[in-house]
A and B are shown apart, each in its own frame.
Chain A
Protein backbone atom coordinates (compact mmCIF):
# COMPACT_ATOMS: atom_id res chain seq x y z
CA UNK A 1 0.00 0.00 0.00
CA UNK A 2 1.33 3.40 -0.92
CA UNK A 3 1.74 5.84 1.93
CA UNK A 4 -0.20 8.52 0.09
CA UNK A 5 -2.85 7.75 -2.50
CA UNK A 6 -4.22 10.25 -4.95
CA UNK A 7 -6.58 9.83 -7.86
CA UNK A 8 -4.36 10.51 -10.87
CA UNK A 9 -7.22 12.10 -12.80
CA UNK A 10 -7.36 13.86 -15.08
CA UNK A 11 -9.86 16.09 -13.32
CA UNK A 12 -11.56 18.70 -15.47
CA UNK A 13 -13.63 21.60 -14.16
CA UNK A 14 -15.05 24.67 -15.91
CA UNK A 15 -13.61 28.08 -15.16
CA UNK A 16 -15.14 29.57 -12.02
CA UNK A 17 -16.10 26.21 -10.50
CA UNK A 18 -14.74 24.58 -7.35
CA UNK A 19 -12.05 21.96 -7.90
CA UNK A 20 -11.81 19.26 -5.22
CA UNK A 21 -8.63 17.24 -4.89
CA UNK A 22 -8.37 14.35 -2.47
CA UNK A 23 -5.65 12.34 -0.85
CA UNK A 24 -5.64 9.45 1.64
CA UNK A 25 -2.71 8.34 3.74
CA UNK A 26 -1.81 5.11 5.51
CA UNK A 27 0.56 6.19 8.30
CA UNK A 28 -1.74 7.12 11.17
CA UNK A 29 1.21 8.76 12.91
CA UNK A 30 1.77 11.26 10.11
CA UNK A 31 1.71 14.76 11.49
CA UNK A 32 1.87 17.36 8.74
CA UNK A 33 0.51 17.46 5.24
CA UNK A 34 1.30 19.64 2.29
CA UNK A 35 -0.18 20.48 -1.07
CA UNK A 36 2.15 21.31 -3.94
CA UNK A 37 1.35 22.49 -7.45
CA UNK A 38 3.56 21.42 -10.34
CA UNK A 39 3.29 22.80 -13.84
CA UNK A 40 4.53 20.58 -16.63
CA UNK A 41 8.33 20.55 -16.73
CA UNK A 42 8.62 22.75 -13.64
CA UNK A 43 9.44 22.16 -10.00
CA UNK A 44 6.78 21.67 -7.29
CA UNK A 45 5.62 24.85 -5.56
CA UNK A 46 4.21 24.77 -2.03
CA UNK A 47 0.58 25.91 -1.83
CA UNK A 48 -0.41 25.09 1.73
CA UNK A 49 0.42 23.02 4.75
CA UNK A 50 -1.96 21.67 7.37
CA UNK A 51 -1.41 19.72 10.59
CA UNK A 52 -4.58 20.25 12.64
CA UNK A 53 -7.94 18.62 12.04
CA UNK A 54 -10.35 20.87 10.21
CA UNK A 55 -10.08 23.50 7.52
CA UNK A 56 -7.36 25.99 6.69
CA UNK A 57 -8.03 28.74 4.18
CA UNK A 58 -5.60 30.82 2.14
CA UNK A 59 -7.17 32.96 -0.56
CA UNK A 60 -8.94 30.71 -3.07
CA UNK A 61 -7.44 27.58 -1.51
CA UNK A 62 -8.82 25.56 1.42
CA UNK A 63 -7.03 22.54 2.83
CA UNK A 64 -8.98 20.05 4.92
CA UNK A 65 -7.56 17.39 7.22
CA UNK A 66 -9.46 14.54 8.82
CA UNK A 67 -7.08 12.43 10.89
CA UNK A 68 -9.75 9.93 11.98
CA UNK A 69 -10.52 9.07 8.35
CA UNK A 70 -6.93 9.67 7.22
CA UNK A 71 -7.68 11.95 4.35
CA UNK A 72 -6.55 15.35 3.19
CA UNK A 73 -8.24 17.46 0.58
CA UNK A 74 -7.65 20.70 -1.29
CA UNK A 75 -10.48 22.88 -2.57
CA UNK A 76 -9.80 25.53 -5.19
CA UNK A 77 -12.59 28.09 -5.46
CA UNK A 78 -13.21 30.17 -8.58
CA UNK A 79 -10.87 27.93 -10.60
CA UNK A 80 -8.85 29.67 -13.29
CA UNK A 81 -7.14 28.24 -16.38
CA UNK A 82 -3.84 29.13 -14.70
CA UNK A 83 -4.70 26.57 -12.00
CA UNK A 84 -4.28 23.79 -14.59
CA UNK A 85 -1.41 21.72 -13.23
CA UNK A 86 -0.62 18.55 -11.33
CA UNK A 87 -1.33 18.77 -7.60
CA UNK A 88 0.83 16.73 -5.26
CA UNK A 89 -0.18 15.71 -1.77
CA UNK A 90 2.68 15.10 0.66
CA UNK A 91 2.96 13.97 4.25
CA UNK A 92 5.61 13.47 6.86
CA UNK A 93 6.45 10.15 8.40
CA UNK A 94 6.07 9.74 12.12
CA UNK A 95 9.79 10.36 12.64
CA UNK A 96 9.34 13.77 11.06
CA UNK A 97 12.54 13.48 9.06
CA UNK A 98 11.13 12.17 5.83
CA UNK A 99 8.64 13.51 3.42
CA UNK A 100 6.63 11.32 1.05
CA UNK A 101 4.56 12.31 -1.95
CA UNK A 102 1.54 10.98 -3.73
CA UNK A 103 1.78 10.55 -7.48
CA UNK A 104 -0.34 13.64 -8.11
CA UNK A 105 -3.69 14.58 -9.61
CA UNK A 106 -3.80 16.34 -12.98
CA UNK A 107 -6.26 19.25 -13.02
CA UNK A 108 -7.48 21.01 -16.14
CA UNK A 109 -9.60 24.16 -15.86
CA UNK A 110 -11.60 24.68 -19.03
CA UNK A 111 -12.16 28.31 -20.09
Chain B
Protein backbone atom coordinates (compact mmCIF):
# COMPACT_ATOMS: atom_id res chain seq x y z
CA UNK B 1 0.00 0.00 0.00
CA UNK B 2 1.31 3.43 -0.99
CA UNK B 3 1.73 5.47 2.13
CA UNK B 4 3.67 7.90 4.28
CA UNK B 5 4.53 6.39 7.65
CA UNK B 6 5.33 8.48 10.70
CA UNK B 7 6.44 7.30 14.10
CA UNK B 8 5.59 7.66 16.87
CA UNK B 9 1.89 8.64 16.71
CA UNK B 10 1.97 10.11 20.21
CA UNK B 11 4.93 11.41 22.19
CA UNK B 12 5.21 13.14 25.54
CA UNK B 13 8.66 14.43 26.42
CA UNK B 14 10.37 16.88 28.74
CA UNK B 15 11.92 20.20 27.86
CA UNK B 16 15.42 19.85 26.46
CA UNK B 17 15.41 16.13 25.75
CA UNK B 18 16.39 15.53 22.12
CA UNK B 19 13.91 13.59 20.03
CA UNK B 20 13.46 12.38 16.47
CA UNK B 21 10.21 11.81 14.62
CA UNK B 22 10.68 9.43 11.73
CA UNK B 23 9.01 9.63 8.33
CA UNK B 24 9.21 7.16 5.49
CA UNK B 25 7.42 6.93 2.13
CA UNK B 26 7.25 3.98 -0.24
CA UNK B 27 6.13 5.84 -3.39
CA UNK B 28 9.57 6.92 -4.67
CA UNK B 29 8.50 10.55 -4.21
CA UNK B 30 11.07 13.29 -4.73
CA UNK B 31 9.54 15.95 -2.49
CA UNK B 32 9.02 15.56 1.24
CA UNK B 33 7.94 18.09 3.81
CA UNK B 34 7.19 18.58 7.48
CA UNK B 35 4.25 20.61 8.76
CA UNK B 36 2.96 21.50 12.17
CA UNK B 37 -0.71 22.16 12.82
CA UNK B 38 -1.92 24.40 15.62
CA UNK B 39 -5.46 25.61 16.38
CA UNK B 40 -6.21 28.88 14.63
CA UNK B 41 -2.89 28.85 12.77
CA UNK B 42 -3.52 25.99 10.37
CA UNK B 43 -0.76 23.98 8.73
CA UNK B 44 2.62 25.67 8.65
CA UNK B 45 5.61 24.30 6.79
CA UNK B 46 8.73 23.61 8.85
CA UNK B 47 11.19 22.20 6.29
CA UNK B 48 10.98 20.61 2.90
CA UNK B 49 13.28 18.53 0.72
CA UNK B 50 13.42 18.41 -3.06
CA UNK B 51 15.60 15.30 -3.19
CA UNK B 52 18.39 13.46 -1.39
CA UNK B 53 20.71 15.89 0.41
CA UNK B 54 18.62 18.90 -0.73
CA UNK B 55 16.59 20.61 1.98
CA UNK B 56 15.28 24.10 2.62
CA UNK B 57 13.53 26.05 5.34
CA UNK B 58 9.81 26.53 5.38
CA UNK B 59 7.94 29.19 7.32
CA UNK B 60 8.69 28.03 10.89
CA UNK B 61 12.10 26.25 10.90
CA UNK B 62 13.42 27.55 14.24
CA UNK B 63 14.15 24.77 16.72
CA UNK B 64 14.00 21.98 14.13
CA UNK B 65 16.48 20.06 12.00
CA UNK B 66 15.99 17.66 9.13
CA UNK B 67 18.09 15.40 6.97
CA UNK B 68 17.51 13.54 3.71
CA UNK B 69 20.17 10.88 3.38
CA UNK B 70 17.88 8.45 1.56
CA UNK B 71 15.04 9.21 -0.80
CA UNK B 72 12.43 7.41 1.28
CA UNK B 73 13.28 8.86 4.71
CA UNK B 74 12.96 12.39 6.08
CA UNK B 75 13.32 12.52 9.87
CA UNK B 76 12.47 15.59 11.95
CA UNK B 77 14.84 16.32 14.81
CA UNK B 78 14.15 18.52 17.82
CA UNK B 79 17.53 19.06 19.48
CA UNK B 80 16.16 20.82 22.57
CA UNK B 81 12.36 20.71 22.59
CA UNK B 82 10.44 23.49 24.30
CA UNK B 83 6.76 23.68 25.31
CA UNK B 84 5.94 25.95 22.33
CA UNK B 85 6.77 23.01 20.07
CA UNK B 86 3.80 21.12 21.46
CA UNK B 87 1.79 20.51 18.31
CA UNK B 88 0.44 18.02 15.79
CA UNK B 89 3.11 17.23 13.21
CA UNK B 90 2.58 15.88 9.71
CA UNK B 91 5.08 14.51 7.25
CA UNK B 92 4.05 14.68 3.59
CA UNK B 93 5.47 13.62 0.24
CA UNK B 94 4.87 14.51 -3.40
CA UNK B 95 5.95 12.87 -6.66
CA UNK B 96 7.59 16.08 -7.82
CA UNK B 97 7.38 19.78 -7.15
CA UNK B 98 3.94 20.83 -6.04
CA UNK B 99 3.86 23.69 -8.55
CA UNK B 100 3.51 21.11 -11.30
CA UNK B 101 0.05 20.26 -10.03
CA UNK B 102 0.98 17.40 -7.73
CA UNK B 103 -0.34 17.61 -4.20
CA UNK B 104 1.11 16.24 -1.02
CA UNK B 105 0.19 12.88 0.50
CA UNK B 106 0.21 13.14 4.28
CA UNK B 107 1.25 10.75 7.01
CA UNK B 108 -1.04 9.97 9.94
CA UNK B 109 0.49 12.61 12.18
CA UNK B 110 2.49 12.74 15.42
CA UNK B 111 0.98 14.44 18.41
CA UNK B 112 3.87 15.85 20.43
CA UNK B 113 3.57 17.25 23.94
CA UNK B 114 6.57 18.93 25.55
CA UNK B 115 6.26 19.48 29.31
Contact = CB atoms under 8 A, between A and B. Distances in A.
Is chain B found bound to chain A in the same assembly? yes
Interface string A30-49: 01101010000011111001
Interface string A46-58: 1001010000000
Interface in B56-115: 56, 58-59, 90, 97-109
Contacts of B101: 32, 49, 51
B109 A43 contact: yes
Contacts of A31: 99
Nearest to A36: B103
A69 interface: no
Nearest to B104: A99
- A contact face: mostly helix, strand, loop, or mixed: loop
A43 B107 contact: yes
B13 interface: no
A67 to B, nearest CB: 15
Interface residues of B, number: 27
A95 B57 CA distance: 14
Contact of A96 (B42, B43, B100, B104): B100
Nearest to B50: A97
Contacts of B59: 100
Given A46-B105, A96-B99, A97-B97, A104 B42 contact: yes
A99 B48 CA distance: 10
Nearest to B57: A98
Contact of B98 (A36, A42, A96): A96
Interface of A: 31-32, 34, 36, 42-46, 49, 51, 88, 90, 92-93, 95-104
Interface of B: 33, 35, 40-45, 48, 50, 56, 58-59, 90, 97-109
Given A43-B108, A97-B56, A103-B41, 15 more contacts: A32-B99, A42-B108, A43-B107, A49-B101, A90-B103, A95-B99, A96-B97, A97-B98, A98-B48, A98-B58, A98-B98, A99-B33, A99-B45, A99-B98, A104-B42
Q: Considering the complex of A and B, which 6 residue pairs feature the smallest CB-CB distances, nearest first?
A: A96-B99, A103-B42, A43-B106, A101-B43, A46-B103, A92-B99
